[in-house]
Chain A
Amino acid sequence: MMDRYTKLQMVGIYACVAVFLTFILLPFFEMFMASLRPLEHLFRSPYQFWSDDFSFDAYKQMWVTVPLLGRYIFNSIYISFMVTGLTMIFVVPAAYAYARLQFPFKNLSLGIFLGVNMFTGAVLLIPLYRVLRTMGLLNTYWAMIVPGVAFLIPTGIWLLRSYLEKIPRELEEAAFVDGASRLYTLRRVVLPLATPGLIVVGVAVFIGAYAQQFLFAITFNQTRELQPLPAGLYEFIGYQSVTWNEMMAAALVGVLPVMVIFLFLQKYLVAGLTAGAVKE
């Protein structure tokens, strides 16, 4: 009866959850409210939380104000998917090696990965700029994908390695005794068992890619057609006024695809984050 709580405890638990949720969700709610109001009503004082002038006009108008908005949303998702895919291609074998193989400088190199992770991309922008220029990648999708991949590989390795370590070694030994090669074992045994972990890491990388593309986009890319949404949102800042309501609407529409993906993967996420915690 571990999950029996008294009424009072239940009230307490829900109260805490409510406080946390308020903190996290209030900005989104306010974004949504702002997107529903005409621009000139946004700044009236006293501030009105609720009013009767709601409309979805901003959601129509934003495509006109920023004609490339659809393109920006597509770019955002495209860049994030490319970053996620490429990162996983590097992370899976690397994490497996760190989880299972012995090689010189294993712990040192892992430590270095973690160390690199502590630099934000911002401190490395100038050297990165020079590297990308030398390779001729400025103003292409690759200018935003390559640094994204580079900065997410360490996180991915750390996350996936700890997941792979939880898969019993005996399963691999059994496969080895039966004549399976490492790659065959990885494909038939390890990766299927690591699916929840792969999804967790994939989602974490995707979110990371989504969040960091802004910085790379404004520094390494001048081509309008290639900008991702966070950079594209700047176009709502006009010479005279900022169309805040349309900007909020566009931001919400932009994160919508990500939210949908989340809803679908939610059950894996919960399973993945707690998997291996108890022995079956």
Chain B
Amino acid sequence: MATLDLNAISKSFGSAKVLHDISLAIKDKEFVVFVGPSGCGKSTLLRIIAGLEEASSGQIVIGGDDVSDAHPVDRGISMVFQSYALYPHLSVYENIAFPLRVQKMDAAEMDSRVQKAAAILQLTDKLQLKPGQLSGGQRQRVAIGRSIVRNPKVFLFDEPLSNLDAALRGDMRVELSQLHRDLDATMVYVTHDQVEAMTMADRIVVLNGGRVEQFGSPMELYHHPATKFVASFIGQPNMNLIPATVIGADATGVSVELDGGHRMALPVAAGTVKAGDKVEVGIRPEHVEVSSKGLEISVNVLERLGGVSITYGVIGDGTRFCASLPGDAVIEEGRNLTLSVAPENCHVFDANGDVLRRQAAPEMVA
């Protein structure tokens, strides 16, 4: 059992507070991704879990044991660094064997573990090479190999794929998901790439400015973003956010007038909003379709990707709007386009950026 619980972790560097009261309960064998913009504290949080950095306050519990003051090895974690951190003077074999040499493991046992890791990672014929003679993807695999020989309870990855090119990144993503299934281990993975987060995670932690914005499954984040930040962070292309004014709110939903004049009745829980409040309406680019009446946009840029056509334009008052339309849609740059969106697909965020929960959207079981 390797659950990982963070209880009210805070961290300050001098007077700068970079993590605020972070509490998370990560389940056994779960693949959790920390995602967020640069500087939001993902690496710092991971390094605190690893024991490379000390939390200013809070508690780390792995598999039921409080390990807040324990050495990384005693925590049962292993870590893969963004730069791979391979020892350039040692062979691939010695790199993978390094944690076992530290433990003074007997040679036969060590050899079998290294060979097993090499087999899993397809490095068997590379064992005698130096890291400098390997490709980026192979180096990454050596780094992973070094982390699995110790049979840790929790794997920590800090942006392991960010040094690879796009194609290789796609392949490694699949390999890592496969590895997670094979090893049956708890994994915590840091990235700023939302595609990696969406495709690999069982659950995603969205961090912003050292705070947890939301912790949930990828689909939950997609359909029920808790805040404007999460909504605009998850999903590709980004969600459109259009300023609007509430003109009526009751049990069935909220009626709004978008800046620019278009009116909509949206089935969301009204909560405390009332007529006259400023809100923002979130519309995902993939949820609009060409129609005879609805939102008027003037198209500035059109990207035809084949299957879809991404259309960038502005609506009435100059708010930018992006639409993802079928590949064969009849659109031209410089022309106007009328788009409609189903009201149940719209998100509404109040002045604080918190969501008004959608009533009609699919319920998510986490």
Could you list which residues of chain A lie within 8 angstroms of chain B, going by C-beta atoms? 168, 170-171, 173-180, 184, 188-189, 192-193, 280
Contacts and interface: CB of A to CB of B under 8 A. Distances in A.
Which 7 residue pairs spanning A and B have beta carbons closest together? Answer: A178-B99, A179-B73, A174-B85, A170-B85, A177-B72, A179-B102, A192-B89
Given A171-B87, A174-B146, A178-B99, 4 more contacts: A168-B85, A170-B82, A178-B78, A178-B98
B150 interface: yes
B72 A179 contact: yes
Interface string B91-103: 0000000110111
Contacts of B78: 177-178
B73 A193 contact: no
25 contacts: A170-B81, A170-B83, A173-B81, A175-B102, A176-B72, A177-B52, A177-B72, A177-B77, A177-B78, A177-B79, A178-B72, A178-B78, A178-B146, A178-B150, A179-B71, A179-B72, A179-B73, A180-B98, A180-B102, A184-B102, A188-B87, A188-B101, A193-B88, A193-B89, A280-B132
B51 interface: yes
B50 interface: yes
Contact of A174 (B51, B71, B79): B79
A107 B87 CA distance: 30
Nearest to A280: B132
Q: How large is the interface on B (under 10, 10 to 19, 20 to 34, 35 or more residues)?
A: 20 to 34
Contacts of A175: 98, 102
B99 A179 contact: yes
B16 to A, nearest CB: 17
A193 B131 CA distance: 14
Contacts of A170: 81-83, 85
A173 B146 CA distance: 13
A173 B87 CA distance: 12
Contacts of A189: 87
A189 B146 CA distance: 15
B116 to A, nearest CB: 17
B85 A179 contact: no
Contacts of B102: 175, 178-180, 184
B256 to A, nearest CB: 50
Contacts of B71: 179
A174 B81 contact: yes
A188 B77 CA distance: 22
Contacts of B89: 192-193
Interface in B91-127: 98-99, 101-103
Contacts of A193: 87-89
B70 to A, nearest CB: 12
Contacts of B146: 174, 178
Contacts of A173: 52, 81, 85
Of listed B71, B77, B87, residue having the most chain A CB within 10 A: B87
A183 to B, nearest CB: 12
Contacts of B103: 179
B325 to A, nearest CB: 43
A189 B131 CA distance: 14
A171 B85 CA distance: 5
B285 to A, nearest CB: 38
Contacts of B73: 177-179
Nearest to A193: B89
B45 to A, nearest CB: 16
Nearest to A172: B85
Contacts of A192: 89
A173 B82 CA distance: 12
B50 A177 contact: yes
Contacts of A280: 132
A182 to B, nearest CB: 12
A126 B101 CA distance: 53
A188 B88 CA distance: 11
A173 B77 CA distance: 13
Contact of B51 (A168, A177, A180, A184): A177
A188 B97 CA distance: 13
B209 to A, nearest CB: 25
A175 B83 CA distance: 14
A192 B85 CA distance: 15
Nearest to B100: A178
A184 B81 CA distance: 20
Contacts of A168: 83, 85
Interface in B42-56: 50-52
Contacts of B101: 188
A210 to B, nearest CB: 31
Nearest to B81: A170
Contacts of B52: 173, 176-177
Interface string B126-146: 000000100000000000001
Nearest to A195: B89
Interface in B154-185: none
A274 B58 CA distance: 45
Of listed B85, B132, B146, residue having the most chain A CB within 10 A: B85
